Amino acid sequence: MRWETVIGLEIHAQLATASKIFSGAPTRYGAESNTQACPVDLGLPGVLPVLNQRVVEMAITLGLALGATIAPCSIFARKNYFYPDLPKGYQISQYEDPIVVNGTLDIRLPDGNTKTIRVTRAHLEEDAGKSVHGLFPGYSGIDLNRAGTPLLEIVSEPDLRSPAEAVAYMRSMHALVRYLGICDGNMQEGSFRCDANVSIRRMGSEQLGTRAEIKNINSFPLSKRPLPLKSNGRLKFLRVADRWYRRRGSMTPTRTKPAACVARKTRTTTDIFPTPTCCLF
């Protein structure tokens, strides 16, 4: 029996603004911990978010470059979950009404042909802070410099059929956001990172299989590593994962990204946070 790989990518592009998405704090990378966060980023009582206009302009720029529809009215939503580096107990993101919908991006295939990949949506959201483990004996540290950094999450349709296509798509999008000047594309610093939703199905089938999510692919070489699915081991893994998710009933194929994200966070909580007393510095 022949199998086919189906891949959709979610790219998080950090927008190259001087200040954060909802506050005036600077976004400089590599600064001393907790020096790039103001009361809004810290989620102090009484603060309110004010949307950075540049962020909207940058999202629209990408939308136009993708030939997408720019939503005349776009809404921010709160994803509520508890995590120590999420200061407000929710992430401000877009859910039902993203700013960019229905675009396309042409990619160049290894054989020289061009393929058009559909871009479902691109939405604005704020990044969370960072938990630092192992630096303080008995404690975990929290660095909120990154909290509130503007991200554009660019979601493709599951139009990619091989790891090579996925890499080509990533490279095209990377070149585009850099050309547009909306993202510096620095993968080491996490300015451009990618999650892959991968599933397999029998060749010729119209139905999508249960997807597995591969998080935080932050370099092109790395992107080639987890994606190749030709080996039997990977196939087997996916089939096992498929059954496991179905049995657990929690990560079904229809499950949306937010829920999956919450599930991951909750697991992280119990897994690598045994000593809960946190300090800010």
Which stretches of the chain bind other proteins, using CB under 8 A? 39, 42-51, 78, 80, 82, 84, 87-90, 142, 259, 269-270, 273-274, 276-278, 280
Q: In terms of CB distance, is 142 or 200 closer to other proteins?
A: 142
Distances (CA, A) of 144 to 55, 124, 280: 20, 19, 8
Q: In terms of CB distance, is 235 or 259 closer to other proteins?
A: 259
For the bound state, the minimum distance from the C-beta of residue 200 to other proteins, rounded and expressed in Å, comes to 28
Q: In terms of CB distance, is 47 or 180 closer to other proteins?
A: 47
How far is 266 from 273, CA to CA, in rounded Å? Answer: 11
Q: In terms of CB distance, is 48 or 203 closer to other proteins?
A: 48
Close Cβ partners of 253 (under 8 Å, ≥ 6 residues apart): 199, 208, 209, 210, 211
How far is 126 from 146, CA to CA, in rounded Å? Answer: 9
Phi-psi region of 102 (alpha: psi -120 to 50; beta: other; left: phi over 0): left
For the bound state, the minimum distance from the C-beta of residue 98 to other proteins, rounded and expressed in Å, comes to 19
How far is 265 from 228, CA to CA, in rounded Å? Answer: 26
E strands present in the chain:
3-14, 69-70, 77-80, 90-93, 100-108, 114-126, 130-136, 139-143, 150-156, 192-202, 212-217, 278-279
Q: In terms of CB distance, is 20 or 88 closer to other proteins?
A: 88
For the bound state, the minimum distance from the C-beta of residue 279 to other proteins, rounded and expressed in Å, comes to 10
For the bound state, the minimum distance from the C-beta of residue 51 to other proteins, rounded and expressed in Å, comes to 7
Q: In terms of CB distance, is 44 or 175 closer to other proteins?
A: 44
For the bound state, the minimum distance from the C-beta of residue 274 to other proteins, rounded and expressed in Å, comes to 7
Task: Using DSSP, state whether 51 is helix, strand or coil.
Answer: coil
Percentages (nearest 5) of helix, strand, coil residues in the chain: 25, 30, 45
For the bound state, the minimum distance from the C-beta of residue 3 to other proteins, rounded and expressed in Å, comes to 33
